[in-house]
A and B are shown apart, each in its own frame.
Chain A
Amino acid sequence: MQELGTVYDVSRLLGDAAAIAPQLYLIIWSLGILCVDPLVAAPHKRPWSLSFSLAGLGFALLHLLSVWDLEAPPAAFNDTIILDSFARFFDALFLVGALLTVLVSYRYLDIERAQHSEYYALILLATSGMMFMAGALDLITLFIGLELMSISTYILVGMLRHSRRSNEGALKYFLLGAFSSGVILYGMSLLYGVTGTTYLREIGDALANLPSSGLVVLAIVLMTAGLCFKVAAAPFHMWVPDAYEGAPTAVTAFMSVAVKAAAFSIFFRIYYQAFRDERDLYLLALALIAMLTMTWGNLAAVTQSNVKRLLAYSSISHAGYVLMGLVAGGQFGLQASAVYLLAYTFMNLGIWAILILLRRGDIDGEQMEDFNGLFLRRPGISVLMVIFLLSLAGIPPLGGFIAKYFVFAAVIRTALESTGGIATPLAWLAVVGALNAVVALYYYLRIVKSMFFETESVDVPLSFSTGITVTLVVTAVLTILIGVYPQPFITLAEVASAPLI
């Protein structure tokens, strides 16, 4: 570790840049979009910005895959950032999420008359912010990544300038998001005050040797509250329904998948590295938060008639399941959460893609009635939707089942192996999680009911595009594959969880 006051050796710059190469690709191409935008004539703006953003994401992904099996380079920039297998796993998740988001956005933005080059640039910037988060070894880097992602997303949510809902959602998201960033920052400053360092591992070492004091508890509480806000865990989830409903649907897809996964990546980094010896302190609280998140999200979703809002609440409840892995702790807990996020990314993106398909003509495709009789006109799309919904509900043999299996297994394993009073609450967490799957199925089936059992429907063609077709194929294949043959994906998650242990 660097001595305080050591000057950064510029000659190491090139070597260090390798650790942030994927991020650099994204930043360069997003700046490219912004530069090219004023230079080309209006009708050519769209294809230009689309191809630039696909190129940026594609290059970043290619680079990531080319170094995938190599040994992780040492931490770069004074040990503040690293491209270890954990970061690679999450980076790949963000990039795939962003790629599919861009693919489904193109036609959708035309329909919404909100085709702006800045949209693509912001998606790229937000993604690079996420990648800084996933690789961060130090609180400051982590925070900068978080802010880069958050601020880009605030703007994306308000992208539909003429829509009241979009504006309202963006403002709410911005105010509460800024507030929560402040809370996290406050927690960070307390941690720095107590331990004298911003490196996560060193904080962990320092906390292990410190008697637990009120200040440490306060720091953990503040960090947890802020992070829960970012991953949309109850009771800090109030912004989610409004922001998700107001945002352009493509952005909602992006938020519910990539932004959530990014927030979880720093959740894991902080809890597994900085708070690794404070498990007794936070375990019970985190278990309660997980239970509350699942239950609240699900119960609120039951009564929704707007599908976008319903899915917003459902994504809250899924955050509760991912938290179960964190509560379970250990390598298998982290692995479970990683598997969950992996499966969740694809099944959820698939759902949102179908929702975007339904945004057609004058129909906003968000109401439950807009799904009525879909099966009779579009059996293929309806079957896909059923696959995604059942996967979200955790019905085998789909990806969502493997995801739920892993988080349940992790919690039960910890409950059985732990001694003392923690086993019972963990067992209850598993039971609450299991019963929540039933509640969730209820409201997912409401959509199925509209599609298959109602027969009256409006005959307006769906807004197909190549991008959406590609997205649907990719997400459906992966959702089924993760369920039927999960072995390679489990290995992926296992490798990803190794560096944090």
Chain B
Amino acid sequence: MDFFLSNILVIVCLFPAAGIVLLLFVPRESVRLVANLVAFVGFLISIPLVTHFNDPAYIDPETRMRFVVKASWIDAIGAQFYFGIDGISLLLILLTTLLGFLSILSSWSAITERVREYYCYFLLLQAGMLGVFMALDFVLFYVFWEVMLVPMYFIIGVWGGPRKLYAAIKFFLYTLAGSVLLLLGILALYFFQYSQTGVWSFDVLQMRNLGVPLDLQWWIFIAFFVGFAIKVPMFPFHTWLPDAHVEAPTAGSVILAAILLKMGTYGFVRFSLPILPEATLQSIPWLLLLSAIGIIYGALVAMMQKDMKKLVAYSSVSHLGFCMLGVFVVTPVGLEGGLLQMINHGISTGALFLIVGIVYERRHTRMIADYGGLSHVMPVYATVFLIMTMSSIGLPALNGFIGEFLVLQGVFAHPLYRLWAVPAVIGIVLGAAYMLWLYQRVMLGKNDKEENQNLTDLNLRELVTFVPLIILAFWIGLYPRPFLEYLHEPVNEVVQIVRPGEFSPLPTQTARQ
């Protein structure tokens, strides 16, 4: 058990990759089952991360990182195999393992061609994403960051919609363009660190205390910004997103929205903010502006969509703008709200893509105009859809409310940036408008289309994919404290680095004891 727990990060990350090897050798009929089992076990073995998170045996006393694994890798350049997580990564990792499993489960009947290949890509994607959230060495991080582009490219390109080729290549090229600039920024940081300390190292945590001069900080900040902002995506780098989300198969869209986008926001919180604090502080007004434009623009464009999936895709642009608003105001509550909103967006938008996928699988159309009055024939589906709509627009008692509330509270906490709450609130109103309008047009009214008369309601497997998401939505909505408590410590740390002494830290568990 101790061996398992001390290497748990490596095991959780590489388990899906090992599953690929297994998948290559099982007979054709059982590929589906094995893939689902691998993903499910992958989720189960990530649970000890939560139960032993505060076990002092697995906390690195110096960095406060949990379950640290460190091994030498490329000595010549000082790159290490260095895994470790804090509360932020913990939530994202669990989101990844859970949604990874759910999206694989949701593909059970949707994917009929090249099944084995499909699951291989998915498991590879899973390993890549988990590595991104675990790596504390810049080179290692970059490796995972890029690796996961490849399977996503294939998932969109092979099983995607009519414009899949265009969407797949656009996704890959856009992200790569950001990544290579990110690499240059990493290198500049690396050489600066060497000139200061005389040690070749890519240790992310050590780079926090470098005191990079402001002009160099700016260059590195721009390089990082482009890399992460494309991934988030922030306005005006968002144009790959609608294409990729719409053309990807349902499970691909779920992963894209729920987890891939979070890699960008995670990058900002893990790297840009603590390593380049002065440049961050100086650029806050611009970052807030871009976030606010994203919120309003995404919401307005979503309202105009005739395609359900496109609507949900643009709503992502809007919601991610919300996350970024909370993150970039860099107040304790705002940052925490932004991070929680990332998880919330993963749950509700992931679920919404699944919801769109359900009717698409039955009717092979995503046009809103082709539906209407579905609640008459699919009552269970209507309930799930309603819950997730409410979660997405932030109805109290559901998760979206907590996230949005915290973000607004955080923005308000800073006297200079108080007014940025205005576009955010407008965004919430618009969000309610397009989501409710969507629900009304698809689910309510008379079921007057011939083809929609005999639609079947959710089957058991489909219902099972939604249950965990619904539970989480209510859990975070009614009792968010356990989730927020994981975030207090890293959030305090980041805020203290960026704005030393400006805000009183959030009360952490250790402080209370």
A residues apposed to B, CB below 8 Å: 379, 390, 394-397, 401, 405, 408-409, 412-413, 416-417, 427, 430-431, 434-435, 437-438, 441-442, 445, 449, 452-453, 485-487, 490-491, 494
- Cβ-defined contact, B165 with A453, below 8 A: yes
- Cβ-defined contact, B173 with A452, below 8 A: no
Partner of B74 from A394, A435, A438, A486 at Cβ < 8 Å: A486
B residues apposed to A, CB below 8 Å: 73-77, 117, 139, 142-143, 146-147, 149-150, 153-154, 157-158, 164-165, 169, 172-173, 176-177, 180-181, 183-184, 187-188, 190-192, 195, 219
- Cβ-defined contact, B169 with A442, below 8 A: yes
Q: Indicate whether A490 sits within 8 Å of B173 (C-beta atoms), given known contacts A408-B183, A409-B187, A452-B158.
A: no
- Cβ-defined contact, B76 with A494, below 8 A: yes
- Cβ-defined contact, A412 with B188, below 8 A: yes
- Cβ-defined contact, B173 with A441, below 8 A: yes
With both chains docked as a complex, state the minimum distance between the C-beta of B170 and any C-beta of chain A, in angstroms.
10
- Cβ-defined contact, A395 with B146, below 8 A: yes
- Cβ-defined contact, B173 with A434, below 8 A: no
CB nearest to B72 among chain A residues: A487
Which residues of B have CB within 8 Å of A442? 169, 173
With both chains docked as a complex, state the minimum distance between the C-beta of B201 and any C-beta of chain A, in angstroms.
14
Q: Indicate whether A435 sits within 8 Å of B177 (C-beta atoms), given known contacts A416-B192, A494-B76.
A: yes
A-B contact pairs, 26 of them (CB 8 A): A379-B117, A394-B180, A395-B147, A395-B149, A396-B147, A401-B143, A405-B139, A408-B183, A409-B77, A409-B187, A409-B190, A409-B191, A412-B191, A417-B191, A427-B219, A430-B184, A435-B177, A438-B176, A438-B177, A441-B172, A449-B157, A453-B158, A453-B165, A485-B73, A485-B74, A490-B74
Q: Indicate whether A413 sits within 8 Å of B191 (C-beta atoms), given known contacts A396-B147, A408-B183, A437-B180.
A: yes
With both chains docked as a complex, state the minimum distance between the C-beta of A424 and any C-beta of chain B, in angstroms.
11
Partner of A449 from B117, B165, B187, B191 at Cβ < 8 Å: B165
Partner of A434 from B143, B153, B180 at Cβ < 8 Å: B180
Which residues of A have CB within 8 Å of B169? 442, 445, 449
- Cβ-defined contact, A416 with B76, below 8 A: no
Q: Indicate whether A452 sits within 8 Å of B187 (C-beta atoms), given known contacts A435-B180, A438-B180, A441-B172.
A: no
Of the candidates B76, B169, B173, the one having the most CB atoms from chain A within 10 angstroms of its own CB is B76
Which residues of A have CB within 8 Å of B176? 395, 437-438, 441
CB nearest to A376 among chain B residues: B114
Which residues of B have CB within 8 Å of A409? 77, 187, 190-191
Which residues of B have CB within 8 Å of A401? 143, 146
- Cβ-defined contact, A490 with B76, below 8 A: yes
Which residues of A have CB within 8 Å of B164? 453
- Cβ-defined contact, A397 with B143, below 8 A: yes
- Bound Cα distance from A406 to B177, whole angstroms: 18
Q: Indicate whether A397 sits within 8 Å of B147 (C-beta atoms), given known contacts A434-B181, A442-B173, A453-B158.
A: yes
CB nearest to A449 among chain B residues: B165
- Bound Cα distance from A379 to B146, whole angstroms: 23
- Bound Cα distance from A192 to B171, whole angstroms: 55
Partner of A408 from B75, B76, B187 at Cβ < 8 Å: B187
With both chains docked as a complex, state the minimum distance between the C-beta of B25 and any C-beta of chain A, in angstroms.
14
CB nearest to A390 among chain B residues: B150
Which residues of B have CB within 8 Å of A405? 139, 183, 187
Partner of A491 from B76, B147, B219 at Cβ < 8 Å: B76
- Cβ-defined contact, B181 with A431, below 8 A: yes
Partner of A416 from B146, B158, B195 at Cβ < 8 Å: B195
